Chain A
Amino acid sequence: MPIAADSLSLIGTVVAGILTVIVLSFAIKDNAVFRLALYLLIGVSAGYAGAIAIEDVIFPELLLPIIELLSANPEINLVDLAMRTVLTILLLTKLFPRIAPIGNPATALLVGVGAALAIAGAVQGSILPQIGAAGNSFDTDSLRLALLGGYYVEGTGLLIQGGITLLATVGTLAYFHFGTNASDSESAKRPAIMEWLAWIGRVFIPITLASLFAAVLLATLTAFIERIDFLLNLLRSFTAN
Chain B
Amino acid sequence: MTYNYSQDPEEQLPDWLKALRNQQDEEPVADETAAEKPAEDTDGSKEEEEEASEIVETNIPQESPPSADVEEETDPDWLAEIRQRHQEDSTADEREIRDDLEDTQPRLISTPPEEKVEEHAPSDEQLSEAFDEMETIESPEPEGEELAPGEVPSWLEALRPAGADKASGPASATQPSPRKERKEEQGPLAGLSGVLPVEPEITQIGGGKSHSGQLEISRIQKQHRSTLEEMIAGQSATSETVSQKVARPKPWLGWLVAGALLLASLLPLLSASESAPLPAANTVPAVSALYDLIEDLPQSAAVLVAFEVQASLYGEVEIAALSVVDHLVEKEAQINIVSTHPTGPALADRLMREGIGETESYLNLGYLSGGMAAIRHFASHPRETNLLPSLWNAPALQDLETLSDFDLLLIISSDADDARAWIEQVGAETSQDMAAVSSAQASPLLYAYLQSEPATLKGLVGGIQGAASYENLRNQDGAARYYWDSYSYVLGAAILLILSIGLYKRILPGEPQQAAQSEEEKP
Option from B366, B421, B453 in Cβ contact (under 8 Å) with A121: B421
Known contacts A56-B367, A182-B223; A218 and B441 CB within 8 A of each other: yes
Contacts of B343 in A (CB 8 A): 45, 48-49, 52
> Is A132 within 8 A of B254, CB to CB?
no
> Is A53 within 8 A of B342, CB to CB?
yes
> Is A129 within 8 A of B483, CB to CB?
no
Q: Does A216 contact B (CB under 8 A)?
A: yes
Please encode chain B, from 230 to 272, with 1 for each CB lying within 8 Å of some chain A CB and 0 for all others: 1000000000000000000001001101100110011001100
> Is A133 within 8 A of B448, CB to CB?
yes
> Is B424 within 8 A of A126, CB to CB?
yes
> Is B219 within 8 A of A125, CB to CB?
no
Q: Does B464 contact A (CB under 8 A)?
A: yes
Known contacts A117-B376, A218-B441, A222-B487; A228 and B453 CB within 8 A of each other: no
Of the stretches A86-94, A150-158, A183-191, A194-202, the one at the interface is A183-191
Contacts of B371 in A (CB 8 A): 114
Between B230, B373, B440, B442, the greatest number of chain A beta carbons within 10 A of the residue's beta carbon is seen for B440
Contacts of B490 in A (CB 8 A): 221, 224-225
Option from A130, A186, A230 in Cβ contact (under 8 Å) with B448: A130
> Is A125 within 8 A of B425, CB to CB?
yes
Option from A29, A219, A223, A232 in Cβ contact (under 8 Å) with B251: A29
> Is B257 within 8 A of A27, CB to CB?
yes
Q: Count how many chain B residues have C-beta atoms less than 8 Å from C-beta atoms of the other chain.
A: 66
Q: Does B428 contact A (CB under 8 A)?
A: yes
Please encode chain A, from 55 to 90, with 1 for each CB lying within 8 Å of some chain B CB and 0 for all others: 011001100000000000000000000000000000
Option from A48, A118, A136, A186 in Cβ contact (under 8 Å) with B453: A136
> Is B453 within 8 A of A227, CB to CB?
no
Q: Does B84 contact A (CB under 8 A)?
A: no
Option from B261, B270, B372, B445 in Cβ contact (under 8 Å) with A118: B372
Q: Does B427 contact A (CB under 8 A)?
A: yes
Option from A56, A113, A212, A222 in Cβ contact (under 8 Å) with B463: A222
Q: Does A205 contact B (CB under 8 A)?
A: no
B267 → chain A, closest Cβ, in Å?
Answer: 11
B443 → chain A, closest Cβ, in Å?
Answer: 6
Of the stretches B2-10, B32-40, B312-320, the one at the interface is B312-320
Contacts of B443 in A (CB 8 A): 215
> Is A129 within 8 A of B494, CB to CB?
no
Task: Tell me the complex Cα distance, A125–B258, Å.
Answer: 43
A89 → chain B, closest Cβ, in Å?
Answer: 18
Contacts of B369 in A (CB 8 A): 53, 56-57
Q: Does B449 contact A (CB under 8 A)?
A: yes
Q: Does B53 contact A (CB under 8 A)?
A: no
> Is A188 within 8 A of B227, CB to CB?
yes
Q: Does A28 contact B (CB under 8 A)?
A: yes
Q: Does B112 contact A (CB under 8 A)?
A: no
Task: Tell me the complex Cα distance, A96–B8, Å.
Answer: 136
Contacts of A125 in B (CB 8 A): 420, 423-425, 427-428, 456
Closest chain B residue to A25, Cβ basis: B258
Q: Does A120 contact B (CB under 8 A)?
A: yes
> Is A56 within 8 A of B219, CB to CB?
no
Known contacts A188-B223, A224-B261; A129 and B444 CB within 8 A of each other: no
Q: 8 Å CB contacts to B: which residues of A12-40?
A: 24, 27-29
Closest chain B residue to A213, Cβ basis: B441
Task: Tell me the complex Cα distance, A218–B443, Å.
Answer: 11
Task: Tell me the complex Cα distance, A130–B441, Å.
Answer: 20
Known contacts A184-B219, A221-B487, A222-B483; A216 and B424 CB within 8 A of each other: no
Closest chain B residue to A51, Cβ basis: B342
Task: Tell me the complex Cα distance, A118–B437, Å.
Answer: 23
Option from B223, B319, B441, B444 in Cβ contact (under 8 Å) with A183: B223
Option from A27, A48, A56, A188 in Cβ contact (under 8 Å) with B226: A188
Contacts of A222 in B (CB 8 A): 315-316, 319, 440, 463-464, 483, 487
> Is A232 within 8 A of B270, CB to CB?
yes
Contacts of B464 in A (CB 8 A): 218, 222
Closest chain B residue to A181, Cβ basis: B223
Closest chain A residue to B223, Cβ basis: A188
Q: Does A217 contact B (CB under 8 A)?
A: yes
Q: Does A203 contact B (CB under 8 A)?
A: no
Contacts of B428 in A (CB 8 A): 120-121, 124-125
Contacts of B311 in A (CB 8 A): 41, 45
Option from B265, B452, B483, B487 in Cβ contact (under 8 Å) with A132: B452
Contacts of B200 in A (CB 8 A): none
> Is A132 within 8 A of B454, CB to CB?
yes
> Is A182 within 8 A of B342, CB to CB?
no
Contacts of A120 in B (CB 8 A): 428
Option from B315, B445, B455 in Cβ contact (under 8 Å) with A226: B315
Q: What are 7 pairs between A and B in contact, CB < 8 Å?
A: A117-B376, A117-B425, A129-B456, A132-B454, A133-B448, A219-B313, A224-B265
Interface residues of A (CB under 8 A from B): 24, 27-29, 41, 45, 48-49, 52-53, 56-57, 60-61, 113-114, 117-118, 120-122, 124-126, 129-130, 132-133, 135-136, 180, 182-184, 186-188, 211-212, 215-219, 221-230, 232
Contacts beyond the supplied A56-B367, A124-B424, A215-B444: 18 A-B pairs with Cβ under 8 Å: A27-B258, A29-B254, A114-B372, A120-B428, A125-B428, A130-B452, A132-B452, A133-B448, A133-B452, A182-B220, A182-B223, A188-B227, A221-B261, A222-B319, A222-B487, A223-B316, A228-B269, A228-B486
